[in-house]
Amino acid sequence: MRAAAGQFPSLQQPITAITPTRPGMSWLAWLLLTLGRWIATLKMVSELEFIHFAQWQRVRTKNLPRLTPDQPAEDFAYDFFVFTTNYNGDWDQYIDTFARVPHIRLGMRLLWGTSQGFPGPIPLRTFKQYIHYHSYPETLYYSAYPASTVRNIEAAVAVKAELQKFANVSSTTKAETPAAFRTRHLEMLKAIAPKLGSAPGVHPFTIETSEPGEAIPVLGRLAGGGKTGQTLIAAMSPIEVKPGYEVTNEIAARIAAVSESTTPSPFAKCPMLHFARLVVLDDLIPKLGSSPAASLRTNYLLFVAAIDGELDDFLDCLHAADPKFVQDVWGRCLGYPEDGRGPVFLRRYIARSLLPVQLPYVAFPEHTALDIRGAVSIHADMLDWMAADRHSTSDAELMAEWQSWLDQLFDGTRAFR
């Protein structure tokens, strides 16, 4: 299976692959994922430098969220292995190279070795077919910085740090001569030069804060030095008991409409959100082949997000951003209180739908989404500044020009902290 023509350079692509675990091997999948962080799996992912986030989860079928008494218990014969990630570039072509690096090959074997029908990482052809076959289209995919690759962010964050270091010295050095300034400035430029490849910058279609006048309660708390450190969550909410598909289709259509709209989605109004996806799973079972109990009895909505700080803060924000969307999507899922109109109901509902997270990876765990967007935009400004010809600028002029430029960077959202 090949990706559509003319796709690259595609900057971020999601994958949602859900494979059945081999009967009797489910515990091993769990064990491997639990041990995963010690067997260098995550180091391997970070070496690849094109994955923003990834998580692997073993999900017990019998533990799938059952949120109303009349939702039947699942008796499907397999457990699930849920892999969600995103990446830069062209999947087919990069996956090609996986099989050439021995420890990555081993990593694949370990991670998917417990999955039913897994052909192994080689031949690559059958491996690709397997992942494609078990991949589900995202009904909605959101990224706070969709135009940035992992390396773009890496460069932006490094440039921002150098500028910050430079600014700190400037503010503590009294009466620096213009000549000394130029020397120091030159050293800084040399340090950041390898990071100055041009980048698309901040994607124009996302916004980072709410519209003026629109009150989003959680903003203040985050800006006031809220918790750092990212949280990865995955929630599987039951939509509808089969053979019902009406609600499922309506929810899917509602999400798709938001996904295709040119106006910012409610997710874009949540500044603590890095990535989010919604996947309507109404055909999980046909992909698993025929077995006696060849059907999940319920359709589910998979919701995966990477956020700064606490899940509840994010859910509050999402609810404030578009309560109608929350109502139209989760509000119609099984077990959501019928008159549940406030954010507290969303919090409680998602909490009941959560799947245990086992092996989470994020490329920039130290940085909030706003940090990253700020760094990306500072990087773009730095490029513009570098592009001007200053060969005949005097030391004093350079110093003044730089200072006024640097002052502009302290414009609130992108400010150095």
Residue with tokens 């023509």: 5
User: Per CB under 8 A, does 383 bind another protein?
Assistant: yes
User: Per CB under 8 A, does 332 bind another protein?
Assistant: no
The DSSP secondary structure of 320-370, one letter per residue, reads: HH-HHHHHHHGGGSTT--TT--SHHHHHHHHHHHBPPP-EEEES-TT--HH
Structural tokens at position 25: 């091997």
CA atoms of 281 and 23, how far apart (whole Å):
22
Instruction: State the nearest-atom distance from the C-beta of 14 to another protein, in Å.
Output: 18
With contact defined as beta carbons under 8 Å apart, do 121 and 99 qualify? yes
Amino acid at 361: Y
Binds another protein (CB under 8 A): choice among 125, 165, 287, 324: 125
Instruction: State the nearest-atom distance from the C-beta of 6 to another protein, in Å.
Output: 4
Beta bridge partners of 367: none
User: Per CB under 8 A, does 321 bind another protein?
Assistant: no
For CA atoms 298, 141, 144, 211, give the dihedral sign.
negative
Beta bridge partners of 275: 143, 306
User: Per CB under 8 A, does 99 bind another protein?
Assistant: yes
Binds another protein (CB under 8 A): choice among 386, 396, 403, 405: 386
Q: Are strands 298-308 and 359-362 parallel, antiparallel or unpaired?
A: unpaired
Q: Which stretch binds another protein (CB under 8 A): 15-23, 206-214, 239-247, 380-388?
A: 380-388
CA atoms of 160 and 196, how far apart (whole Å):
11
CA atoms of 211 and 296, how far apart (whole Å):
42
Instruction: State the nearest-atom distance from the C-beta of 398 to another protein, in Å.
Output: 12
Structural Rg of the chain based on CA atoms: 24
Instruction: State the nearest-atom distance from the C-beta of 380 to another protein, in Å.
Output: 9
Q: Which string of x and - marks every residue 176-205 that binds another protein (by CB under 8 A)?
A: ----------x--xx--xxxxxxxx-----
Q: Tell me which residue of 287, 357, 361, 411 sits closest to 19, measured CA to CA.
A: 287
CA atoms of 233 and 18, how far apart (whole Å):
16
Structural tokens at position 116: 């039913």
Instruction: State the nearest-atom distance from the C-beta of 27 to another protein, in Å.
Output: 32
Sorted by sequence, the CB contacts under 8 Å of residue 376 that are 6+ apart come out as 145, 148, 152, 153, 156, 199, 201, 202
Q: Which string of x and - marks every residue 46-65 that binds another protein (by CB under 8 A)?
A: -xxxx---------------
Q: Which string of x and - marks every residue 130-169 that binds another protein (by CB under 8 A)?
A: -------------------x-xx-xx--------------
Instruction: State the nearest-atom distance from the C-beta of 38 to another protein, in Å.
Output: 22
Structural tokens at position 121: 């990482």
Instruction: State the nearest-atom distance from the C-beta of 60 to another protein, in Å.
Output: 35
When the beta carbons of 78 and 181 are compared against another protein, the nearer one is 181
Instruction: State the nearest-atom distance from the C-beta of 207 to another protein, in Å.
Output: 22
User: Per CB under 8 A, does 5 bind another protein?
Assistant: yes
When the beta carbons of 49 and 283 are compared against another protein, the nearer one is 49
Instruction: State the nearest-atom distance from the C-beta of 187 to another protein, in Å.
Output: 8
Q: Tell me which residue of 267, 278, 343 sits closest to 307, measured CA to CA.
A: 267
Provide the binding-site residues for another protein, judged by CB under 8 A: 2, 5-6, 8-9, 47-50, 88-90, 92-93, 96-97, 99-102, 122-125, 149, 151-152, 154-155, 186, 189-190, 193-200, 383, 386-387, 389, 391
